[in-house]
Chains A and B, each alone.
Chain A
Amino acid sequence: MSEIVLPRRQLIARAGGLVAAAGALPLLSGCDAINDAPAVRKILSMGEEMNRASQRALIDRNTLAREFSPADLSPYFRPNGTRLPAGAAYAAHAASAFADWRVKVTGLVTRPLALSMVDIRAMPQRTQITRHDCVEGWSAIGQWTGVPLARILAAAGVRDSARYIVFRCADRLGDALYYESCDLVDALHPQTIMAWALNGKILPIANGAPLRLRIERQLGYKHAKYVNAIEAVASLDQIGAGKGGYWEDRIDYEWYAGI
């Protein structure tokens, strides 16, 4: 038996050490210093680039996200982010059932447009039941109806120099208006639609009325709500802080949110 006494003592000593380490504040703040170091941030962002490049290589540009049946719908589709944009302008639009809402299509296009909701509903429509995956981890299944973004972009005539599509939103979060962006692969994807209906009803305000983006192969924060402008650009550098989205600019969410 004597041969195991020493190891047991060591075990206890080690366990005590772990507890002490857990309470060691300098160690913890050291960890956060590593997290915040610019060189580390650069290395960490390599993961996003590897994910984007590998997913673009593995996933065909037209591969569809799974579509579900009405039996699969979430009983309640959880709204997230802004649930009611502030300000008199939006309130007036909501009061008039968005009759005067215009979605401007601008930037690197040959025919800039200003589409009303009537215009948008007159275009060819697509209805899809898809799963919405929030970056936080939850999922909800909903049925969306809207016009494929590719139709809108074709109507406006996107120039060859355009590489990204930027979505401008009417909801202000803190210091700035929400916005998002995607590349042309996702913009022209058959399931990428500007949706105005959820589960067979006019889109509720909490879910982005009157018009929101569905970009089914990426996470929820990419799905811009309350969209009032669609802009074709060659670079994201001059948009917001240059990272391609409201949360990307502020807290360093990945611009490519396919994972």
Chain B
Amino acid sequence: MAEAETPVAPTQTEPVRVYRHRLPARIWHWVNAVTLLVLLMSGLMIFNAHPRLYWGEYGANFDRAWLVIGSTPDSGYLRIGDYRVETTGVLGRWTDAKGAEKTWAFPGWATIPTSYSLADGRRWHLLFAWLLSIGLTLYMLWTLIGGHLRKDLHIRRAEWSPRHIWHDVKAHARLRFPRGEAAARYGILQKLSYIGVIFVALPLMIATGLTMSPGMNATWPWLLDVFGGRQSARSIHFITAWALVVFFLVHIAMVLLAGPVNEVRSMVTGWFRLPPEREEGA
């Protein structure tokens, strides 16, 4: 009798699970998430010690800065080149947790530690720089040896076609993410951004970081020449840091839009549930 009453639902296929992220990728991802956050926040503290950026070998208060975060007696501002914008409350002049007005460039909630300490900011920054460097080196080796680069990140010839790239851009803009089998693989924009972060932005952060070291400058002066001088290296370090922040924001937005539970779970357990194919006409 029970058999007869069993409702016959339309065939609900079990979601297909694929093992998408291997353990080294997952470990590196989360170690990096913490490391980059500490590096960013302690880096903003270090920037606060001299909130001016220059191009070339030298640059100090009497030299022309291309970027300044500063304050007037009643406002804070950001100046880039000749373009100046009021940033009172956020940059240059803001109120701390105890209600005291401060004129450091970046506010306490964005820095490590929250109150001004260049020494402590440097301690955090220069220790976590080791974590980033060692982690990135190991991860790069793993992507080469373990096949991650060849199998997952390698951009095939067909993917380089402008039509394919434009198609992916449009799909992202419409928030139409790949489903079914296609969701198991990275799209061209994903590949470009991951390759950009792993092989361009993070190595650039480390290299420009090293060129701010007077010791390293003595032994590797050619690296400083690549960047055009110590103050240029400092500027590139700052710009690349914000490029990584932009990557992070887009990354988080994509995770949220593509299904945060499934995405985060796959980066914890490795297993990703393929979103079912769209039905015809959907």
Q: Interface centre among B58, B112, B252, by most A CB within 10 Å?
A: B58
A140 near B58: Cβ-Cβ < 8 Å: yes
Known: A44-B123, A216-B218. A251 touches B117 (CB 8 A): yes
CB distance from B205 to the nearest CB of A (A): 14
B60 near A59: Cβ-Cβ < 8 Å: no
Taking the complex as formed, is A75 at the interface, i.e. its CB lies under 8 A from any CB of chain B? Answer: yes
Majority secondary structure, B binding face: helix
Known: A7-B259, A28-B108, A136-B118. A48 touches B214 (CB 8 A): no
* Cβ–Cβ < 8 Å partners of A74 in chain B: 58, 60, 62-63
Chain A interfacial residues counted at CB < 8 A: 58
Interface residues of B in 213-227 (CB under 8 A from A): 213-219, 221, 224
Interface residues of B in 22-78 (CB under 8 A from A): 46-47, 49-50, 52, 57-63
User: A25 CA to B108 CA in the complex, in Å?
Assistant: 11
Taking the complex as formed, is B192 at the interface, i.e. its CB lies under 8 A from any CB of chain A? Answer: no
A72 near B57: Cβ-Cβ < 8 Å: yes
Contact of A63 among B50, B218, B258 (CB under 8 A): B218
B50 near A134: Cβ-Cβ < 8 Å: yes
User: A249 CA to B117 CA in the complex, in Å?
Assistant: 14
User: A35 CA to B97 CA in the complex, in Å?
Assistant: 17
Contact of A138 among B52, B123, B213, B216 (CB under 8 A): B52
Taking the complex as formed, is A241 at the interface, i.e. its CB lies under 8 A from any CB of chain B? Answer: no
Contact of B213 among A28, A139, A258 (CB under 8 A): A258
Interface residues of A in 52-72 (CB under 8 A from B): 55, 58-60, 63-66, 68, 72
CB distance from A180 to the nearest CB of B (A): 15
Encoded as 1 (CB less than 8 Å from any A CB) or 0, chain B from 164 to 188 comes to: 0000000000010000000000000
User: A258 CA to B97 CA in the complex, in Å?
Assistant: 35
User: A50 CA to B175 CA in the complex, in Å?
Assistant: 46
User: A50 CA to B213 CA in the complex, in Å?
Assistant: 14
B114 near A31: Cβ-Cβ < 8 Å: yes
A139 near B230: Cβ-Cβ < 8 Å: yes
Taking the complex as formed, is A259 at the interface, i.e. its CB lies under 8 A from any CB of chain B? Answer: yes
* Cβ–Cβ < 8 Å partners of B218 in chain A: 59, 63-66, 216-217
Q: Interface centre among A14, A55, A136, A138, by most B CB within 10 Å?
A: A138
CB distance from B31 to the nearest CB of A (A): 15
Interface residues of B in 119-162 (CB under 8 A from A): 119-120, 122-124, 126-130
**Would you give 29 A-B contacts (Cβ < 8 Å), ordered by A?**
A7-B257, A7-B260, A14-B256, A22-B109, A41-B123, A47-B130, A55-B216, A58-B219, A78-B62, A131-B58, A135-B49, A135-B118, A136-B49, A136-B118, A137-B234, A138-B50, A138-B231, A139-B230, A216-B218, A217-B217, A247-B119, A251-B119, A252-B119, A253-B122, A254-B119, A258-B213, A258-B215, A259-B213, A259-B216
The chain B residues found within 8 Å of chain A, CB to CB, are 46-47, 49-50, 52, 57-63, 97, 108-109, 112-115, 117-120, 122-124, 126-130, 175, 210, 212-219, 221, 224, 230-231, 234, 252-253, 256-260
Closest CB pairs A-B (n = 7)? A258-B215, A47-B127, A259-B213, A137-B50, A138-B60, A136-B49, A44-B123
Give me 19 other A-B pairs in contact (C-beta within 8 A), A7-B257, A251-B117 excluded: A14-B256, A35-B112, A35-B113, A50-B127, A51-B126, A66-B218, A66-B224, A74-B62, A74-B63, A131-B58, A135-B122, A139-B57, A139-B60, A140-B58, A216-B218, A247-B119, A254-B119, A258-B213, A258-B215
